[in-house]
Amino acid sequence: MTQGSFAWLIAAAAALAATAHAQGYKPTRPVEIVVHSGVGAGNDVVARVISGILEKEHLLPVRSNVVNKPGGNGVLAMAYLAERRGETHIIAMYTAQWLTQPLMSREVRVQFHELTPIANLVQDPAVIVVKADSPYRTLSDFIEAAKKNPGQLRQVGSSVESRANLIRMILQRRSGASWTHIPYPSGADRITAVLGGHAHIYIGDPPEINEHVNSGGLRAIVQIAEKRLPSFPNVPTMQEAGFENPNIRSVRGVIAPPGLPKEVVDYWENVFARMVKTESWRKYVIDSQLEEWYLRSGELGKLAEEIVAQRRQMFAEFGIKMAR
């Protein structure tokens, strides 16, 4: 081989390497979208919508599949990600529980900042619902009944540190009423409990309760939102109903296993930056009464710190025991 041919081969190899680097990472096999809740819960609904949009809008070169890892209010899903360090074909949908659960138990081995945050997508308003034939037509009706029957009425929810239970304790403190909180493992189970008369009230995310309100099974009595949601134009907000709105952020976003190279993080950031600009996503956000709040990975550290600080203060105020 001549010196000139050898030089040409070196130049060609360098050009190929540069092209590969410029192209960066792309998934080459199906992507798992991990959800920490059961089928039918709000986060599961959002994940399945996202999977559909990624395919419809051709934002991924491969298919994506939603994988449910319920248990421990996010603990099992977080551990699943942590055990797959460096795995580039797994992402997960996080909620504020991924930030607060480590505060509650030292058995939680994984914390939010130890994983790889990709993007925050939305924050959730909430809707308080009762069974359609319930005698409680307003939040005041329910609270007055709870005052007359202390501890007898039942609110179904998830964990003690959840936003819904914190709202319950705020309302009880301000009103002097008392009712119980019963944990159920999934959103579908909670809705079934209300529909079956086993619970009287549920504070749910719009994506998981919309269908049941529209079909006439549930009735919305108040909204926890800054302004009335388009789907519930006749349902008052907390402020309109005469109650101070508890400002407890509920966020949803995308996170990945630890140890990902920068080019992989950049790839996933760009996928979701493109997704939130699609008409499919915008329509879903509007139809589902979510509040769009896109943040890239570099901004999520501050958001996480703010949410954890707020929850610490509230847990201390209401006597919820913390492990950290």
Q: Which residue has the tokens 């099974």?
A: 217
Give the phi and the psi of residue 74 in degrees, each rounded to 5: 105, -15
pLDDT at position 14? 40
CA of 120: how far to CAs of 129, 251, 286, in Å? 27, 7, 17
Position 11 pLDDT exceeds 80: no
CATH class of 31-123+250-317: alpha beta
Residue 9's φ and ψ, nearest 5 degrees, are -65, -40
Domains 31-123+250-317 and 126-224 equal at CATH topology level: yes
Reference 131, options 205, 207, 190; nearest CA is 190
∠ Cα 84 265 296 (to 5°): 120
- Interval 55-69: pLDDT, tens: 999 999 999 999 999
Q: What pLDDT shows up at residue 2? A: 52
Q: C-alpha distances in angstroms, 12 versus 5, 6, 9, 122?
A: 10, 10, 5, 46
Both ends of the chain: CA-CA distance in Å? Answer: 67
Distance separating alpha carbons of residues 40 and 245, to the nearest angstrom: 27
Residue 78 near residue 36, CB atoms below 8 Å: yes
d(CA 108, CA 123): 25
- Residues 6 or more apart whose CB falls under 8 angstroms from that of 66 comprise 33, 35, 44, 47, 48, 51
Q: What is the 3-state secondary structure (H, E, C) of 245-260?
A: CCCCCCEEEEEECCCC
Q: For the segment 20-54, what is each residue's pLDDT rounded down to a tens digit? A: 333 589 999 999 999 998 888 778 989 999 999 99
Domain ranges of the chain: 31-123+250-317, 126-224
Q: Is the CB of residue 278 less than 8 Å from the CB of residue 57? A: yes
Q: What is the mean pLDDT of residues 209-229?
A: 91
Cα 102 from Cα 258, distance rounded (Å): 17
> What residues have CB less than 8 Å from 103, skipping those under 6 apart?
161, 308, 311, 312, 315, 322, 323, 324
CATH of domain 126-224: 3.40.190.10
Residue located via tokens 């809705």: 191
Q: Take residue 8 and report the two structure tokens written for it.
A: 């040409």
Q: How many CA atoms lie within 13 A of 131 on its CB side?
A: 16
Span 222-246, pLDDT tens digits: 999 888 888 889 999 999 999 987 7
C-alpha to C-alpha distance for 324 and 304, rounded to whole angstroms: 15
Among 59, 83, 70, 8, residue whose Cα is nearest residue 35: 70
Average pLDDT estimate for 159-187:
92
Residue 141, amino acid: D
Arithmetic mean of pLDDT, 144-150:
97
Taking only the tens place, the pLDDT of each residue in 94-132 is 998 899 888 888 878 899 999 999 999 998 889 999 999
More reliable by pLDDT, 266 or 10: 266
Query: Can you give the pLDDT at residue 20?
Result: 38
HSE of 57, CA atoms in CB hemisphere, 13 A: 19
267-285 pLDDT, tens digit each:
999 999 999 999 999 999 9
